[in-house]
Structure 1
Amino acid sequence: MRVKDLLLKPSRVSQRDKQLLLAHLLKVKPPELYLRMDEGVSESIVKLYEAGLEKLKEGYPLQYLLGEWDFYGRAFKLVEGVLIPRPETELLVEKTLGLLEKTRDYVGLEIGVGSGCIAITLLLEREGVFMYGTDINPKALEVSQLNAEIHGVAHRLRLFQGKDFEPVKDMKFDFIVSNPPYIPEGYWEKLPQGVKLEGRESLIGGEKGWEFYERFSESVEKHLRNGGFFALEIGHDQGDVIKEIFKNFRIEIFKDYSGQDRVVIGWKY
């Protein structure tokens, strides 16, 4: 069977996902498939491809099937139970980088590192940054460590298991970032099965959804150095709640490219 036959075979899976899956199995970049349309594909690859399509039809995330996903132009390894990087989160990175001078040294913290894509991207974009990261999920810490090693920044990242600030309770930082769980508990059963594979603790923020921000607002000041800042991803409909929670801080809320509230940045007076 040829590359062309596999890609043109009717399927409920999108053409984009079919291309990404086949390119992954053939160990080529997706655009290269168009140069190989008439090339034959081994029976073993065909079987893997067809099995992958079946899983995708059932709602299994392509990101887990590939074992990696792109974020800010780089590939990050992934496993089930670890939050999948999303394009909206790149805004959090962009806004954070905008506040980090290229010629200065900083010590930062990420709460809930997940795959490590945020912390590692900051390290790659700013050579003067050293990061600490916390997560309650040991699987996430393993993946973060692996990604840090792959991208050559493991010597500038220290990881700890624990909730929120607990593993770094006596430390202060120049900046703190987080993409915390912010979906209300009541939405869990409505989520697609594929999304649920990312893990309840990665997605559900509590009964209201904004419990993390309440805890964070009570502790962040003692963990920020003077002039320091925090940058957090928020739910698209949480802007007003966030303003109330952080009413004792100077904050700014930024909208994503869909015009929805997505990032809050606050400064220590």
Structure 2
Amino acid sequence: MENLRTIQDFIRWTTTQLSLSDIYLGHGTDNPIDEAKQLILPVLGLPLLIPAEFYPANLTNAERQQLFDLIQKRIEDRVPTPYLTNQAWFCGHSFYVDERVLIPRSPIGELISYKFQPLLSSQPANILDLCTGSGCIGIACAYAFPQTQVDITDISLEALDVAQTNIDLHEMGNQVTPILSDLFNAVPAKQYDLIVSNPPYVDDEDMSDLPEEFLYEPKLALEAGFDGLDLVKRILLDAVDYLLPNGILVCEVGNSWVSLQDQYPDVPFNWIEFEHGGLGVFSITREELIKYRYCFE
């Protein structure tokens, strides 16, 4: 510890320790260097991109001790970095997170960055984000469509408390409305141009095989029954009643996409291909949901 004095020292040493450990990377980074930076720099109150002259800066003894404690928790206890720093990035924006919500990592972020083109034919007036968790998807949609009203829902009051923190952080109170709801149960009696959802979709088999880091995330936001489709099936059945003509449902099902396709082979799910990785996200139109509603009943 005495030999580690500067920001550069800590990033180099932490990268080595992470590389030698058996931690799982996948909550915002895919390599030890980025993981080290995301762990160290936010704790010091610094952005992830700092001027080169900052790296040789000496740390105080208190800062060094705080970093050592957090690095130990990351490696020995396998606590995901965003829970240690209370910061996660999604669509280029920083969000507050803690163990009440999932850590943002959905490939839906790429769709938001492209404003859901070519899926949407016009500017949406209203968007619904189901199972919002931290609120990151809904808030990112609000950034992408500044004139659009966004409702975000979750069954967990604790999750909505985090979402409200992020609404306040991003000053989105006039555009984003949090709603406590079990899927559509308490959603206002109106229709949306776009419904987007990253619901729980981990099946029983995958739940038993998750890396230790996932054990810190709320099970309510992960597990979804034997086939991982408990909530997705409800969404497919009910979404049509909340979509406008030509409205679109975008939903993430992850690895459970195979089971969904096998159970509904006739339904024309549009499986989206991503430039930056990710799978298991489909879109489907209101008209298609009407035509194939009998499959979900």
TM over 0.5: yes
Query: CA distance change for structure 1 residues 247 and 173 in 2, over 3 Å: closer, same or farther?
Result: farther
Indicate which of 134, 140, 150 corresponds to 1:121.
Answer: 140
Indicate which of 28, 32, 35 corresponds to 2:53.
Answer: 35
Aligned to 1:198: 217
d(CA) in 1 for partners of 2:145, 2:262: 30
Give secondary structure in 1 for the equivalent of 2:50: helix
Q: CA offset at residue 54 of structure 1? A: 0.2
Question: Does the alignment pair 1:111 with 2:120?
Answer: no
Contact 2:207 2:223 in 1 (8 A): yes
Give secondary structure in 2 for the equivalent of 1:142: helix
d(CA) in 2 for partners of 1:268, 1:154: 29
d(CA) in 1 for partners of 2:35, 2:275: 23
Report the count of equivalent residues. 267
Aligned to 2:24: none
Question: Does the alignment pair 1:12 with 2:17?
Answer: yes
Aligned to 1:68: 87
Aligned Cα root-mean-square deviation (Å): 2.4
Query: CA distance change for structure 1 residues 26 and 147 in 2, over 3 Å: closer, same or farther?
Result: same
**5+ unaligned residues in a row in structure 2: which ranges?**
19-31, 288-297
Deviations 1:118-147 (A, max 9, x none): 111111111221011110111211111111
d(CA) in 1 for partners of 2:241, 2:262: 20
Contact 1:135 1:162 in 2 (8 A): yes
Aligned to 2:173: 154
Give secondary structure in 1 for the equivalent of 2:186: helix
Give secondary structure in 2 for the equivalent of 1:131: strand
The residue correspondences of 1:31-110 to structure 2 (distance < 5 A) are 31-32=49-50, 34-58=52-76, 59-86=78-105, 88-94=107-113, 97-98=116-117, 99-100=119-120, 104=123, 106-110=125-129
d(CA) in 2 for partners of 1:141, 1:42: 37
Overall identity of the aligned pairs, in %? 22
Q: CA offset at residue 33 of structure 1? A: 6.6
* Over 6 Å off, 4+ runs: none
**5+ unaligned residues in a row in structure 1: which ranges?**
none
Deviations 1:201-249 (A, max 9, x none): 111111210122211121111111222111111224515624754846x
What TM-score do you get using the length of structure 1 for normalisation?
A: 0.89
Letter in 2 for 1:17: E
Aligned to 1:135: 154
What TM-score do you get using the length of structure 2 for normalisation?
A: 0.81
d(CA) in 1 for partners of 2:62, 2:233: 52
d(CA) in 2 for partners of 1:260, 1:38: 37
Give secondary structure in 2 for the equivalent of 1:154: coil
- Between 132-141 and 7-16, report the one with greater CA deviation: 7-16
Contact 1:251 1:267 in 2 (8 A): no
Give secondary structure in 2 for the equivalent of 1:144: helix
**Structure that is richer in strand per residue:** 1
Indicate which of 215, 218, 242 corresponds to 1:223.
Answer: 242
Q: CA offset at residue 254 of structure 1? A: 0.9
Contact 1:184 1:209 in 2 (8 A): yes
Indicate which of 241, 251, 259 corresponds to 2:260.
Answer: 241
Query: CA distance change for structure 1 residues 208 and 157 in 2, over 3 Å: closer, same or farther?
Result: same
d(CA) in 2 for partners of 1:261, 1:53: 31
d(CA) in 2 for partners of 1:55, 1:157: 35
Q: CA offset at residue 18 of structure 1? A: 2.4
Give secondary structure in 1 for the equivalent of 2:251: strand
Letter in 1 for 2:137: I
Contact 1:24 1:66 in 2 (8 A): yes
Query: CA distance change for structure 1 residues 163 and 223 in 2, over 3 Å: closer, same or farther?
Result: same
Q: CA offset at residue 152 of structure 1? A: 2.0
